[in-house]
């Protein structure tokens, strides 16, 4: 069943011509055929993405220590499969640097066949995690972590281009500047053809016609000259093999899901549409399983190429499918032509992607002055760890951890304890207000006057909520301290949830019974 995000929005029409989405067979799972205008946008966007995927896939193959064909095959199979199985239309999945960094030690120590087993096993784990509902955890990601994720990605995309601008012939800088100029200026005149595609074609034509000696795509590595074929990795199906590949498979699964779900959420925000994160999770798993059996290094969603696709106007699965198809055609059939593309053209495209991805609003002085320091700290920690490790999973994990600690610290200070003595001086009532959990309840014990209170004490929790065992233990410690002095202490006013938790845990968390 297709959701609203799977169908292209109707384009404006003039006269008798109109764009409409045609029904498609159910097995196409959202790959519906749009009208001419939308189809042209999807085709051109897919072509631009395919061109940008080639040097990235080759570079990631080098990082992983495998032949460039392994990365290119992965990009083809990931894009095509996720077009059918994924939950986020217009998002691009392919071989990625995050996965390359994870699997590099495995390839170095055990070879490519063990890598393929790890990719297949990682895909199976992603399917299981999807069934377990891991995608629902996305709602616990604070906005500051998301902003840090976006800014870190922009920085990583930009810094990944620097090697192509270092120790190169001077025409490279001129070509890069011209490419950026085309992408900045052309949209002011027309948006019929994506500006990145125009820049790539123009710069390639110029360097070939003028015989300008600059680094090209062909210099990055050999392009495949045959289609990928199905095969089973040549490794013994033993417990020893599983022991070797399991840690890498787990890393592939977790890194891939985190990066893919974060990218999907980003595209949701940009396009103002909702996507099925659970479907995206198991779709990534299926794509990795297929990729492993077809000799690919595995992967996940690619933020850079996804931004190219979305910024080019693509909104459906067609652009994703065509990106993979065009990639295969370009490297297998038109490899000699693709090899002539100057790297400067692709560097210019990725620089513009990084500029467009960065959340410039988040670093404005006026915004930083108004933003709580804790929110800024979360954003900066996410950026710092991601950029420092080149691992988005680490950055997001640290960002969430910092956000949790700072939130707990802030909420802990909102607990208030007041007291009053009844007129006859025989009973003191303590009123506790706020959320009681491990961070706030640890100091609760020190809010009572054990030595000076009368023979009866009432602890009123009608304006508080008991969240965990730490609070139950704190309340038991308080009543125990009073009992040791012969004071009768009672806890009253708990709401239904707090009372249920207290009744279930009282006497067990401290070993009192």
Distance between first and last Cα of the chain = 55
Going residue by residue through the chain, which has 513 residues, state the pLDDT in tens, using 9 for 90 and above.
344 444 343 444 433 333 333 333 433 444 556 778 889 899 999 998 998 888 778 878 877 878 888 989 999 999 999 999 999 999 999 998 778 878 888 998 999 999 999 999 999 999 999 999 888 877 777 888 888 887 887 888 788 888 889 999 999 999 999 999 998 998 888 777 778 878 888 999 999 999 999 998 888 777 777 888 898 998 988 999 999 999 999 989 988 898 898 889 889 988 889 899 999 999 999 999 999 999 999 999 988 889 889 988 889 999 999 999 999 998 888 888 878 889 898 888 878 878 877 888 888 898 888 888 888 999 999 999 988 887 777 888 899 899 888 888 877 777 899 999 998 889 999 999 999 988 888 788 889 999 899 999 999 999 999 999 999 999 999 999 999 999 999 999 999 999 999 988 887 766 544
DSSP-assigned letters across all residues of 57-95: HHHHHHHHTS-HHHHHHHHHHHHHHHHHH-SSTT--EE-
Residue 340 is encoded by which pair of tokens? 């002539």
pTM: 0.68
CATH superfamily of 414-505: STAS domain (3.30.750.24)
Domain boundaries, the chain: 36-230+238-361, 414-505
Pairwise CA distance, residues 386 & 390, whole Å: 5
Provide the sign of the torsion angle of the four alpha carbons 124, 125, 129, 130, taken in this order. negative
């Amino acid at each position: 069943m297709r959701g609203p995000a799977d169908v292209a929005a109707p384009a404006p029409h003039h006269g008798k011509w109109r764009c409409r989405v045609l029904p498609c067979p159910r097995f196409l799972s959202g790959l519906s055929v749009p009208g001419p205008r939308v189809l042209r946008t999807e085709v051109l966007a897919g072509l631009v993405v395919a061109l940008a995927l080639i040097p990235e896939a080759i570079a990631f193959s080098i990082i992983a220590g495998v032949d460039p064909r392994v990365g290119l095959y992965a990009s083809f199979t990931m894009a095509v499969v996720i077009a059918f199985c994924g939950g986020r239309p217009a998002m691009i999945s392919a071989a990625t640097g995050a996965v390359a960094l994870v699997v590099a030690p495995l390839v170095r120590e055990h070879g490519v066949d063990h890598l393929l087993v790890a990719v297949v096993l990682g895909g199976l784990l992603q399917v299981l995690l999807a069934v377990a509902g891991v995608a629902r955890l996305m709602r616990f990601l604070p906005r500051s972590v998301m902003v840090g994720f976006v800014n870190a990605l922009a920085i990583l995309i930009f810094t990944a281009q620097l090697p192509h601008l270092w120790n190169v012939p001077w025409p490279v800088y001129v070509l890069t500047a011209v490419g950026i100029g085309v992408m900045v200026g052309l949209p002011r005149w027309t948006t019929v053809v994506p500006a990145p595609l125009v820049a790539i074609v123009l710069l390639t034509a110029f360097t070939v016609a003028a015989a300008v000696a600059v680094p090209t795509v062909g210099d990055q590595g050999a392009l495949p000259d045959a289609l990928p074929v199905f095969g089973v990795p040549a490794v013994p199906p033993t417990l020893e093999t599983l022991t070797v590949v399991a840690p890498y498979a787990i890393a592939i699964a977790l890194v891939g899901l985190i990066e893919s779900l974060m990218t999907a959420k980003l595209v949701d925000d940009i396009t103002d549409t909702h996507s099925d994160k659970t479907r995206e999770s198991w779709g990534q798993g299926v794509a990795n399983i297929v990729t492993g059996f077809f000799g690919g290094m595995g992967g996940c969603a690619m933020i850079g190429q996804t931004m190219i696709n979305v910024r080019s106007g693509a909104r459906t699965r067609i652009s994703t499918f065509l990106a993979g198809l065009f990639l295969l055609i370009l490297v297998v059939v038109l490899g000699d032509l693709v090899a002539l593309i100057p790297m400067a053209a692709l560097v210019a495209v990725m620089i513009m992607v990084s500029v467009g991805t960065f959340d410039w609003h988040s670093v404005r002085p006026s915004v930083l002055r108004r933003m709580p320091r804790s929110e800024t700290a979360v954003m900066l920690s996410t950026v710092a760890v991601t950029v420092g490790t080149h691992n988005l999973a680490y950055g997001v994990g640290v960002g969430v951890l910092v956000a949790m600690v700072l939130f707990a610290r802030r909420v802990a200070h909102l607990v208030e304890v007041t007291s009053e003595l009844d007129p006859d001086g025989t009973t003191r009532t303590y009123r506790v207000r706020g959320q009681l959990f491990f961070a706030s309840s640890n100091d609760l014990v020190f809010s009572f006057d054990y030595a000076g209170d009368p023979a009866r004490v009432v602890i009123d929790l009608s304006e508080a909520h008991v969240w965990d065992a730490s609070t139950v233990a704190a309340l038991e410690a308080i009543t125990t301290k009073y009992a040791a002095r012969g004071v009768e202490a009672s806890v009253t006013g708990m709401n239904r949830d707090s009372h249920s938790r207290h009744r279930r845990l009282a006497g067990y968390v401290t070993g009192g019974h």
